[in-house]
Amino acid sequence: MPEMKKTLPLLAGLLVWSLPAAAQLPPAGRADYLAALALEYRADGSADHQAAAARYQAAAEAGSREAILALARLSEPGGPLWQGPELWRGRLLAASRAGWPEAAYDLARALEAQTLSGLDPQPFYLQAAAAGHAQAALRLGLLYLDGQAGLPKDEVQAALWLTVAAEKHEAQGALALGRMYYDEQPDLARRWLERAESAEGAYLLGELYLKDRRFIEALSAFTSAADRGYPPANLALGLLELDNDFGRHPNPRAALRHFKIAAQADLPEGSYQLARMYLLGRATPKDSITGAFWLNRAAARGHGPAREEFGKVTYNFSVGQKKRLERMIADGVAPTTQVPVKNQN
């Protein structure tokens, strides 16, 4: 009985959603489609997918677009009636031709990923995007932006489809537009990044504010990005906390916390800035060995100033200091710099 109580509202909802479409079918098609729903969503929670597919097929032959889509859904990988890629491709193609943008998008994605073959994905992305499918518009915009999947590199087309995606609240579309306009049209980039709702978007927004010396807005944006686990934002926050032009007193202790997070995320500049904190004794006792450890970490990742400074710092090290540093480098960790995974702002 509990299962029946759970299933009946679902079945009722499906029937109500389907009745307008079913009412437009010939009587045989309407009966087959409703019978298929009843077989797939039984009151006791069970399903007879084979029998439902047969009734969906009959309804599809009578002209039911919903039945055509249902057949594609049943045939997808992991679906109850998966019988291989050829059947799935055929049913997705039929659903696409019946005007279902989600089927056209699924077909395009499978073709691009080479899960299916024999067709080009671009027309199906275009079909879905033109029908207002946000994810299809996003993918089409990104393909034009990078010149992939057989499409030419075309920033005009990219901007068009990314805008469609962003206007439909696809955050990745807004982020891509923010990246596109970042250098040439920062004001336009800022407007899109404010809608990106992502860690990277908040970080890029902070960078734009910083260029305009809008420190309070930059601090807020970087903090938002850091709270979402984006270590480049911690690096930016650390530098801001040491900036005398920020309009408030420098906070080396907060800077140290942020640099630790950036360094442990393997950001070369983060490792370099953390090394300087230890070498100068800012918010921590002076520790030339730990400082050298982080200089070495930064230098190993191509940081030129760190490589140069490492040689200077270690030039006069004693044999004991060199051995301790070598052990730390071999272990890959400086014991005094462990911080929790969660950001500390």
pLDDT tens digit sequence for 56-105: 999 999 888 899 999 999 999 999 999 999 999 999 999 999 999 999 99
Last residue of a domain, one of 46, 64, 83: 83
Q: Which pLDDT score, from 0 to 100, does residue 27 have? A: 59
84 burial class (0-12, 13-18, 19+ CB within 10 angstroms)?
A: exposed
Angstrom distance (rounded) from CA 223 to CA 234: 8
For the residues 23-38, what does the mean pLDDT come to? 74
Q: Which of 83, 99, 115 is the last residue of a domain?
A: 83
Q: Which two tokens stand for residue 14?
A: 């499906």
Confidence of residue 249 (pLDDT cuts 50, 70, 90): confident
* Domain carrying residue 312: 228-345
Q: Which residues contact 125 (CB under 8 A, 6 or more apart)?
A: 104, 105, 108, 136, 139, 140, 143
Q: Which helix (H) or strand (E) holds 30?
A: helix 27-40
* Domain C-terminal end among 83, 98, 128: 83
User: Which residues contact residue 104 at a Cβ distance below 8 angstroms, ignoring those fewer than 6 apart?
Assistant: 92, 95, 96, 124, 125, 127, 128, 131, 133, 136
Q: Would 275 be classed as within a structural domain?
A: yes
Q: Is residue 319 domain-resident?
A: yes
End-to-end Cα spacing for the chain = 52
At position 172, the amino acid (one-letter code) is Q
Question: Residue 53 and residue 328: Cα distance in Å, rounded?
Answer: 64
pLDDT of residue 4: 36
Q: Is residue 327 part of a domain?
A: yes
Instruction: Report d(CA 243, CA 238) in Å as an integer.
Output: 9
For residue 263, give the CATH number of its domain: 1.25.40.10
Q: What is the pLDDT of residue 334?
A: 78
Percent of the chain, pLDDT > 70?
Answer: 88
| The dihedral sign for the CA sequence 339, 340, 343, 344 | negative
Q: Which residue has the higher pLDDT, 56 or 339?
A: 56
Task: Domain count for the chain, please give it.
Answer: 2
Residue 199 lies in a domain: no
Whether 325 is covered by a domain: the verdict is: yes
Of the pLDDT bands very low, low, confident and very high (cuts 50, 70, 90), residue 247 is low
How high is the mean pLDDT of the chain? 89
Is it the case that residue 8 has pLDDT exceeding 70?
A: no
Between CA 307 and CA 296 the distance in angstroms is 7
Of 103, 81, 106, 86, nearest in space to 94 by CA: 103
Does the residue 68 lie in any domain?
yes
24, pLDDT greater than 90: no
Are the CB atoms for 310 and 292 separated by under 8 Å? yes
Of 205, 201, 131, the closest CA to residue 172 belongs to: 201
Instruction: Please check the confidence at residue 225 and state whether its pLDDT lies above 90.
Output: yes
**Can you state the percent helix, strand and coil of the chain, rounding each to 5?**
70, 0, 30
* Distance (Å, whole) CA 233 – CA 252: 16
Q: How far apart are CA 29 and CA 32, in angstroms?
A: 5
Whether 32 maps to a domain, the answer reads: yes
- pLDDT tens for 113-166 read 999 999 999 999 999 999 999 999 999 999 999 999 889 999 999 999 999 999
Q: Is residue 167 part of a domain?
A: no
**Rg over CA atoms, the chain:** 29
